[in-house]
């Protein structure tokens, strides 16, 4: 009998050991699942964060690109202002072609004088009124030359605008004409 009890006792001890091992393995499996879930969550979070960073970078690059384009357009406008021409709007609607910038209007003798004379408006006007007709002749000559320049530029502009409108009405390519 003793041997039977011993066997039963051994089985009982073995059973308890098996149950303990089984519990440990279940705990290990749960820990592994939790750790794998944490890793997956961390990777997803990292992916989301990476996407956000990439999106911000793209927005920043887009903003820089837009700023560069605006700066370039501003420089072009300044260049045209210095050359004496107004810059036309750069955007066009469907069926319209971009045209040459409209020429700057001719200056009169007073404007020629004001461009060359430093000081406040009041001081400049006082100096203009004090000039004799012989002294004003130089500014009148400048104004006449500017009037000729305007006439030539305006004729070229009207011709180019007419050609661009005809090309646009025929379905031609939209292009910017240059002087």
DSSP state letters, 156-173: HHHHHHHHHHHHHHTT--
Percent of the chain having pLDDT more than 70?
66
| Tens-place pLDDT, residues 90-124 | 444 444 456 678 899 999 999 999 999 999 999 99
DSSP 94-114: TT----PPPBPPPPPHHHHHH
Q: Flag residues of the chain having pLDDT under 50.
A: 1, 5-6, 85-96
| Tens-place pLDDT, residues 17-34 | 666 667 778 888 888 888
Contact 157, 103 (CB under 8 A): yes
Provide the pLDDT for residue 88.
Answer: 46
Coil/strand/helix, residue 85:
strand
Q: Answer whether 0.75 is exceeded by the pTM.
A: no
Non-local (6+) Cβ contacts of 104 within 8 A are 81, 84, 85, 86, 150, 153
């Amino acid at each position: 009998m003793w041997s039977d009890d011993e066997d039963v006792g051994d089985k009982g001890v073995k059973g308890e050991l098996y149950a303990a091992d089984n519990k440990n393995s279940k705990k290990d499996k749960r820990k592994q699942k939790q750790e794998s879930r944490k890793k997956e969550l961390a990777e997803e979070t990292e992916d989301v964060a990476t996407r956000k960073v990439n999106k911000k970078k793209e927005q920043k690059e887009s903003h820089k690109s837009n700023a560069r384009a605006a700066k370039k357009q501003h420089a072009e406008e300044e260049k045209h202002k210095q050359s004496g021409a107004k810059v036309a709007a750069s955007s066009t609607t469907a069926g319209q072609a971009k045209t040459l910038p409209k020429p700057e209007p001719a200056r009169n003798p007073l404007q020629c004088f004001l461009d060359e004379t430093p000081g406040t408006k009041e001081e400049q006007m006082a100096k203009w009124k004090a000039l004799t007709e012989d002294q004003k002749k130089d500014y009148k000559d400048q104004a006449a030359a500017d009037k000729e320049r305007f006439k030539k530029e305006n004729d070229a502009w009207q011709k180019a605008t007419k050609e661009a409108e005809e090309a646009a009405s025929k379905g031609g390519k939209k292009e910017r004409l240059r002087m």
